[in-house]
Chain A
Amino acid sequence: MEGNGDGFSLGKLVYGTSPRRTLLRAAVLAALCLIVFKFMFVPARVDGGSMAPTYSNHGLNLINRMAYLQNKPQRGDVVAIRLRETGHSIVLMKRVVGLPGEAIGFQNGRVTVDGQLLDEPYVQLPSDWERAPVVCGPDEYFVVGDNRSMLMDGHWFGRAKASLIAGKMVL
């Protein structure tokens, strides 16, 4: 590699003093990135406004795929839900409001759990949703977006099988 009069070498700057070691470091770093961003913290781009105002459209986030290996989803968690068992390219981003066995409904846009209104500070947009409660199955969680000012028919919400929950949103 070329150098200048002060002993500066571009080759050393790029490859380090030991190119073989630099190559090994780069390979380890690439493998680590692959493991971390493929299996542990999967990057996701938010598309749509169903989680507004908590999450803005086109924002970036990470899905923590390890979150539910030991623990089960909790009320209030924002989770990523696969559309089906073999689907992984697109996930739904929703908030868990109902746990297995609970009856979930809507009154004036607010969630009711077993007939009691749920305190939802994250819901800030006005809503008039009304829906009779349904009971979640033993392996089902009730999920809904924070933006209930949307038309009910245009909003994905309802009971999701636990096996479809891919992870918890990090940010």
Chain B
Amino acid sequence: MKRVLWLMAAALVVAGAVLLWRQLFPGPEARIRQRMTRLQDLASFSGSEGNLAALANVQRLGNLFAEDAQVSVDLVGGPKGTWTGRDNIVRAAAAVRRLSNAMKVEFLDVTVALGADGQSATVEATVKVVAEGSDGLWVEDLRFEFIETEEGWLIRSVKNIRTLTFAEPGRVVAGFDPRPA
């Protein structure tokens, strides 16, 4: 009985040590996941957020992107466009904050695939956004490309993935003559 207790205690100590090691020295995937969580937190904002805090958070959000990062989105019922460079992304993020009083951003089903070079990674996630004043939620699938730099893992590009497609890459039937609306 005493030996069993000793074994259980030893297993607990080993498990605790492993957890502590992972917290102190996270691997690339864990660090990228931490970045995604940070991005989710900084992209969310509440109505009580002051102007200075909002400005600081937008700047912090920008620091998660590489200098030459590119965000290219074509969202269903939402904005379409490409923003290149950290400064433009920060400006776009600031503009989003002016559209709503509060917004909750959540990344779901996050998958991380490390590149063969160990210096890059592809992350896919479903973003769920609930904005104050709008009925229902807004979802989109996003693909992030990460790159490891001296500043840590930074986002190099963001694109949305279209689950349902209409014309591309399918073939449009020729000779269609739509009736006037």
Contact = CB atoms under 8 A, between A and B. Distances in A.
Interface of A: 47-49, 57, 81-84, 86-90, 92, 94, 103, 105, 107-108, 128, 130-137, 140, 143, 151, 153-160, 164
Contacts of B128: 89-90
A90 B126 contact: yes
A57 B136 contact: yes
Interface stretch (B5-13, B65-73, B163-171): B163-171
Give chain B's interface secondary structure class: loop
B163 A83 contact: yes
Contacts of B163: 81-84, 92, 156, 160, 164
Nearest to B125: A87
Interface string B153-172: 00000000111111100111
Contacts of A48: 136-137
Interface stretch (B17-25, B41-49, B56-64, B173-181): B173-181
A116 B85 CA distance: 49
B76 A155 contact: yes
Nearest to B162: A158
Contacts, number: 97
B171 to A, nearest CB: 5
Contact of B166 (A83, A130, A131, A137): A131
30 contacts: A47-B137, A57-B135, A57-B136, A81-B164, A83-B139, A83-B163, A84-B109, A86-B109, A89-B126, A90-B139, A128-B181, A132-B172, A132-B176, A132-B178, A133-B172, A135-B170, A140-B170, A143-B164, A153-B77, A154-B76, A155-B77, A156-B76, A156-B163, A156-B164, A158-B162, A159-B164, A159-B166, A159-B170, A160-B163, A164-B163
Nearest to A81: B163
A83 B170 CA distance: 19
